[in-house]
Amino acid sequence: MMRLGFGARLFAIFVTSLVALQLLAVVAFVLQRSRATDSELRLPLPDQAAALAELLDGLPKTDWPKVLRAANSVDLSVRIVERRPDGREPDWYEAPLVDFILRRYLGTLGDRPVRVRVEPSNEVLAGPLRLLAWVSPGTIEIEIGLKGGETLVVSAGGVLALSVVGLPPGFWAGMLGLLVAGVALHLLRREARPLRDLAAAVDRVPLGAEAPAIPDRPRSAPEIRALIGAFNRLTGRIADLLRARMALMGGISHDLRTYVTRLRLRADLIPDRQERARTIADLDEMSRLLDDSLLACRTGVPVINEELVAIAPLLAREVSDRTPPAPGKAQGSAPVSLTLAPEAETAEVLGDPIALRRLFANLVDNALKYGGVADIAAGVDRAAPEGPALVVTIDDDGPGIPDEQRAALLEPFARADASRNRATGGAGLGLAIARGVAEQHGGTLTLGDAPSGGLRATVRLPMFVTDAGPGSTGTRSSGDG
C-alpha cells in the first residue's frame, strides 16, 4: 500500500480543510437563501417579466410609477422609456448567452419585441478588446415592448449581471482557490525538501568515515532544523565511536602480537618436536586471528590508496600460488582452476590491490578448505543497471550451505557448523572480511548454489570505465553509490 509523503500529507490536509470550508460556506449560503423573501435581489425570470409587462399594460399610466417603485431595488432597475427595443447604440454590444436569454424571454412574452444588451464596465474594453467584456460586464438590460409603444427596461448590474452573462463569480473563486492551492503546494514542498535531503544524506553515510554535515536551513520549520542538527550530531558521535574502535583494535592487536612473538620465541625452545610444532601452529593461528579481526574492523573504512587493479593477473596469481608444479599430473586436475571471459582479461577495478587480493584469497581458501576445489570464473556484465560490473564466481564441491544460513555466514565469527567440518579451523571471519572488502569497493558478495551442488560465491565489482574520445577520463561505474 502506497503511503503519502510528508509534503503530500500536508497538502492533503490543506486541501481537505479548504474543501470543508467551502462546503460550510455553500451550506450557509443555501440556508440563507432558503430563508430569503421574494424581494431578494435577482433578475426576474421570463414568466415574472411577462407578468410585469401584462400588469403595466392593464393599468393606467398614472399607476405605473407605483409598480416601478415596487419592482426596483438596489441592483435591479425597472423603468419605462418612450422607444421600441430596436436599433443598436454604438457603446452597447451583445454578450455571450444573449441568444439563449432572448429565446427564453421570447418564448414567454409571445410577440412582444425583446432585446438583451450589455454595457462595458471599463472604457479599456472598447474597440478590439470588446471580446473580453463577457468576463466582467457592467450592466445588462432586457428591453420588453409594451402595447402602448413604450419599452419596459429591466437593468441589472454588478454581481447580478455576472450571474446572467459571462463567467460566474464562482469561477473566479475557483481560480483563486487553485492559485492559493498552487502556492501552498510550493511552500509545502519547500518545507519537505530538508526531509528528503536528510533521507538522502542517511543513505550516503559512509561506514567508518565522518559523514558530511547537512547545512542548516534558517527558513525551515524549527522541528526540521532540530532534526538536521540532531542528525549532524549523531553522525559525529558515530564517527568518533568508529575511530575509537579502530584505535582500540589497533592497540590490542599490537600488544597481543608482541606477546605472540615472545611466545613464538619460547616455543622454539620446547624440546619435544611434535609439541613444539603444535604450539607454533596455535600461535600462527592466533596471529592470523588478530590480523583477521583487525581487517574486519577496517573493512568499513573507505579505500584510501586507490589505484587501477587488473583483476585477471590477480586471479591468476591466486591460482599459481595454490597450484605447485607436479610433473606427470594430468591437465586440469589442479584443485584451483581459472576461466576468463574475453572482456574480463582486460577488466580493471579502481581500488586497493592488497584488499582485493585478500578478498579473493579468502574465498579461494574457503572453497579449498570446505569443498576441496575452487573453480574461478570471471566475466563482465554490461547490462547491469548501475553500470558495467566485473563478475567473479568461485565454486566448490563441498556440501553447500542451506539458504537460511547464508546471510548469517557473512557476519563476523559466524560458522555453519551443521554443514561444514569444524575440524578445519578458522574463526569465521573469512567471508565477513570478503564481503566487507567488496562493499568497500562499491560491490557485493552473495552466496548461492554451484552447479556441482557445492557453494558458489559471487563477487560483483564496478568496473573502471574509460570514456571514449580524446581527452576523456576514466570513471568508476555507479555501483559504488
Domain boundaries, the chain: 37-167, 206-302, 306-322+335-421+428-480
Compute the average pLDDT of residues 101-115: 70
Give pLDDT, residue 90: 45
109 vs 222: CA distance, rounded Å: 68
Check pLDDT > 50 for residue 81: yes
Q: What is the pLDDT of residues 34-45, one digit of tens each?
A: 554 443 444 455
> Are 397 and 453 within 8 A, CB to CB?
yes
User: Where is pLDDT greater, at 421 or 283?
Assistant: 283
Range with top average pLDDT, 158-162, 384-388, 454-458: 454-458
Give pLDDT, residue 84: 60
408 vs 414: CA distance, rounded Å: 7
Compute the average pLDDT of residues 169-173: 58
> Are 372 and 398 within 8 A, CB to CB?
yes
208 vs 211: CA distance, rounded Å: 9
pLDDT band at 378 (very low <50, low <70, confident <90, very high): very high
Residue 348: Cβ within 10 Å count: 18
User: Cα dihedral angle (340, 342, 343, 348), rounded to 10 degrees?
Assistant: 50
DSSP per residue over 43-54, as a string? Answer: PPPHHHHHHHHH
Residues 6+ apart with CB under 8 A from 68: 78, 79, 80
Check pLDDT > 60 for residue 392: yes
411 vs 415: CA distance, rounded Å: 9
Range with top average pLDDT, 2-11, 118-127, 313-322: 313-322
Give pLDDT, residue 376: 92
- Using only C-alpha atoms, what is the Rg of the chain? 45
Check pLDDT > 50 for residue 348: yes
Range with top average pLDDT, 93-102, 259-268, 412-421: 259-268
Residues 6+ apart with CB under 8 A from 61: 148
Compute the average pLDDT of residues 78-95: 61
Task: Give the 3-state secondary structure of residue 391.
Answer: strand
DSSP code of 187?
A: H
Compute the average pLDDT of residues 84-105: 54
> Are 44 and 52 within 8 A, CB to CB?
yes
Which secondary-structure segment (H or E) carries 245? helix 222-267
Residue 307: Cβ within 10 Å count: 11
Residues 6+ apart with CB under 8 A from 349: 308, 309, 311, 356, 390, 441, 461, 462, 463, 464
pLDDT band at 421 (very low <50, low <70, confident <90, very high): very low
- Cα–Cα separations (whole angstroms), residue 101 to 62, 98, 144, 383: 31, 5, 13, 68
Is the whole model's pTM more than 0.85, yes or no? no
Quick one: cell of 18? 479548504
Which secondary-structure segment (H or E) carries 340? strand 336-340
Tell me the percentage of the chain whose pLDDT exceeds 90: 5
Closest of 259, 341, 246 to residue 295, by C-alpha:
246
- CATH code, 306-322+335-421+428-480: 3.30.565.10
> How many whole angstroms from its chain centre is CA 288?
46
Check pLDDT > 70 for residue 110: yes
- Cα–Cα separations (whole angstroms), residue 68 to 60, 64, 147: 13, 6, 17
Give pLDDT, residue 20: 72
62 vs 146: CA distance, rounded Å: 15
Closest of 438, 433, 448, 443 to residue 478, by C-alpha:
443
Check pLDDT > 80 for residue 85: no
Closest of 74, 299, 332 to residue 208, by C-alpha:
299
Compute the average pLDDT of residues 109-123: 67
> How many whole angstroms from its chain centre is CA 449?
35
DSSP per residue over 61-85, as a string? Answer: GGGHHHHHHHH--SSEEEEEESS-S
Check pLDDT > 60 for residue 238: yes
361 vs 322: CA distance, rounded Å: 10
Strands 336-340 and 374-381: parallel
pLDDT band at 322 (very low <50, low <70, confident <90, very high): confident
